[in-house]
Structures are given as structure tokens and as C-alpha cells.
Structure 1
Amino acid sequence: MDKKEFHRQKGEVERSEAKHKALKLKSSLFPGGSTVYDAFTALVQPLYEKRKDEWLYLLMYDLVRREKEGVISLEALSKNDEFVTIVTKAIILAQQNHQKEKLEALRNIVLNSTEWLSKGEPIFDWGHKFLMIVDQISPLHILLLKTFQNPAKAIQEKKARFEERTGFNNADVFFKLHPELKSRSALAKQCWRELYNFGFVGTDKFFEMKDAEDMKYMHTHDQFVPQTTDFGNKFLNMIEYSK
């Protein structure tokens, strides 16, 4: 056996041994062994790619439409480092999420960033920050924020009625509009506190408001007070779809 053939066979043996070790590792980690591992990866990987493809299709549909309307230039955007970073991060986050509200928010941040970037106006810091926040929050956070940006409008749309009394806190209003979520009151309270920590709402109180400083956030049966800050409104504008 010449030296060349020896090294070829040695390489095949080493590759075979490496494959065997990998299979043994699969078998030890997964009940059912490599068959279960292969079946699982065969299921998850296409779903992961499918999620990305569906999200990208909807994004590209709107980007192409906007280019035809003369609002943006895809060629210019493709050479814009800020846009490439924003869309790359959004794609990664979209693959990691399944909730419709978050997927729409991610897509809309990209779409709304394009018009600013096309004009050479600074939006990267906003876009990047809001992408990271969308990854951290849930649809419940978004529902709370949208409700209290204009609670009077939300009440009108729901045709909700409030009795005459001194005042209502945010929880009173929210669960009147969404009684099906009342069993999740502890979670809603935590989500509200997180929105406050983001700087999206003006008070950290979701239930009782007793301090004089909090009284300006109280609602009455004929006056429902917006709770969102300018920063919160900016976030909502960025995650809203604009035609």
C-alpha cells in the first residue's frame, strides 16, 4: 500500500469513527436515538425556514410596492449599511417568533424605517432599539399600549359603559374592555410595569392610584386619560402599518 492510499483509507476510517461517535451522542441525548433526532430536525428546520420565507415575502411585497410609488429606492437601500443591519436583525427575530402581532411589528419597523433612510434622515437608533424591545415584549404588552394610547377611542369602539363614580384606574378600564383577560390580571400588571420601565407609559400604577402624583392618570366615566408617553407613541407609530 503506497503512502497516498494509506492516508486516504486513514481519512475514511477517521470520518467513519467521527460519524459513529456523533450517532452515539444523538442516541444518548434523545430518547429513541438518532431516528427521533433526525425526525425532529426534519420537522423544525423546514418550519424555521418557512417562517422566514413567509415574513420576507410580505416584507418584499410592500417594499416593491413602495418603490413603484416612488417612495423608496431598493437599490439605494441595499447599499445602506443601516438598512441592511435593521433588516438582518428583523429577519433573525422573525424566525424566532410565531405571534402575529410581533411579526407584524417587526415588519412594520423595517417598512417605516425605509422612508426615513431613503431621505437620509437618522432612524437607525430608533429602529434598532424598537426591534430589540419587540423581541422582549408580548402581544399583551402591545394590546395594553394600544388601548391606553387613546382609551376613549377604545371604549367607543367596544361600546363599553362606565358607571358614574369618582374614578377608575387602568385595570378597571382594561378589564372592562377585555373581560376575557381578567384571569391574567397579575400578568397584565407585570406587563404594565415593564412598559413603564421602557418609558412607554407615564405611571407604573396599573391598579390602585393613591398618590397625588398619580391622580392625573385617573379616569372618570366621562374622561379617559391617555397613558402613553411621547416615547411610547413613537414606538406605536413605528410598529403600525402605514400604506
Structure 2
Amino acid sequence: MEKDKVKDITYSLTKAGLGSIPVVGAAASELLGLIVTPPLEKRRSEWMLEVGERLKMLEETKGILLESLKENDTFIDIVIQTTQLANKTSEEEKIKIYQNVIFNSLENHNPELAEIQIFLHLVESFTVWHIKLLVLFDNPKKWLITNGITPPELMMGSMFSVVDEAYPELKPKQKFCNLIWSDLYRAGLVNTDSLSGMMSGNGIYAKRTTEFGDKFLDFIKTK
């Protein structure tokens, strides 16, 4: 693909804006190009290589005909959107999620593009911690055991007890965690509006993701 056809729109607009400033702006524009363009091209190349390799693997293991994907408008829309979003971040966790969206859309033979766009918007707006806490509270006890942590026997407490066990680094950041949880609740992904409420031991380890939250996780996880 020619370089002119793959230039990042955001970068182009930014450069154009700087270039409109006389003399100093022109120099700044060139400087921005020297700083931004090499890593941007590297991100694109790595993304295309990784996606291509996984598509080839799906062709070999699942019998998906790659040639037929050219006629699949929904798939093309998903690839274009995830590619743009992936090129905006250096976070490996998010890049992997964007890749998962592409391949999980192939597993779901009739994906709703509107729903996928909502999922992509959520991934883009969320931090990695949003995703980690959502995954944790899909099945708290199972997550702890899978990650080599013995769930403590609790008679009473709040869901922060689970967060503290899973991610000790978040223990002094309860306000931060509550902000994240509020985002998840407003998005309809969890069924409890706060991590702070007191409850029984069984309640602490209860599943907190909603049906929509489960669907979101199913669509972004590695399979």
C-alpha cells in the first residue's frame, strides 16, 4: 500500500494545523514528522503483521476462506475501525483486545455492527484497569484460584476485599477504583453501583457482570 494512502488522519490534521503557523510552524511541522512518523509506521507494520498471521491461522484451523472476507462489508468496517484505534495506543492489552474483536467477529457469523461499535467505543474510553476489574468480577473466586490466590474466608466486608487480594497495588486507591466501577455501572456492564457496600461473604464473591457485560467480555477476550 502506498504511503500516501495509509497516512494517519489525526497526524495529517495536526501537521496541517502546525504548518499554518508562519516560519516557526513550518519547522515545528517537520519536527513533528520526524518524531511521530517512524513509530507510527512501526505500529502499523506490527499490527498488519500480527493480524495477518492470526487470519492465516484461522484459515488453516477453522476453514475460513480469507478471499471471501473482501466481500464482507461488516468485517471490513470492523478491521478499519480497530486498525485506527489500535494505532492510537501503545498499550499491548488494548491492542490485543482490538485484535480479538476482529477474530471474534468471525466466530460470530452474524455480528451486529452497531453493538460492535458500542463495544469498541467502550474499549477506547476505558483504561486497562476497567477491563481488569470487569474480568475479575465476572467470577471473583475462580479468578483468584486461577491466579494462584486462595480466596480468604470472609464473613462480612465489601467487594474491595476481592480487589485487594487480586491487585494489592490498588489497595491505597479506593477512590480511583470507585471511579472505574462507576463507569462500568453506567455502561450497564455490572449490576452493583459501588465497590464499597457492606455484604456477606457470599455476596463479596458473587458474580457482578450483567448479561451485557458478559457479552462484552466474550467479544473482547482471547479464545
TM category (shorter chain) comes to: 0.7 to 0.9
Spell out the pairing of 1:1-243 with structure 2 (5 A cutoff): 25-27=22-24, 29=25, 34=27, 37-117=29-109, 121-156=110-145, 157-165=147-155, 167-209=156-198, 218-220=199-201, 224-242=205-223
* SS, match of residue 58 in structure 1: helix
* SS, match of residue 102 in structure 1: helix
Measure how far apart 1:158 and its partner are.
3.7
User: Does the aligned pair in 2 maintain the 1:158–1:177 contact within 8 Å?
Assistant: no
Higher-Rg structure is: 1
Instruction: From the superposition, tell whether residues 84 and 161 of structure 1 become closer, same or farther in structure 2 (CA, over 3 Å).
Output: closer
Query: Matches of 1:37 and 1:110 in 2, distance apart?
Result: 34
- CA RMSD of superposed structures (Å): 2.2
Q: Which sections of structure 1, spanning at least 5 residues, go unmatched?
A: 1-21, 210-217
Residue identity in the other structure for 1:225: A
Query: Matches of 2:117 and 2:21 in 1, distance apart?
Result: 43
* SS, match of residue 140 in structure 1: helix
Stretch deviating more after TM superposition (186-195 or 149-158): 149-158
Residue identity in the other structure for 1:126: E
Residue identity in the other structure for 1:228: T
Residue identity in the other structure for 1:162: P
* SS, match of residue 80 in structure 2: helix
Cα offsets for 1:37-68 (capped at 9, x unmatched): 42332121121121122122111111111112
Query: Matches of 2:151 and 2:135 in 1, distance apart?
Result: 19
User: Does the aligned pair in 2 maintain the 1:196–1:204 contact within 8 Å?
Assistant: yes
- Could you state the TM-score of these two structures normalised by the residue count of structure 1? 0.76
User: Does the aligned pair in 2 maintain the 1:202–1:228 contact within 8 Å?
Assistant: yes
Cα offsets for 1:82-139 (capped at 9, x unmatched): 111111000000011111111111110111001323xxx2332332221111111010
Query: Matches of 2:175 and 2:165 in 1, distance apart?
Result: 16
Stretch deviating more after TM superposition (80-89 or 169-178): 169-178
Instruction: From the superposition, tell whether residues 221 and 176 of structure 1 become closer, same or farther in structure 2 (CA, over 3 Å).
Output: farther
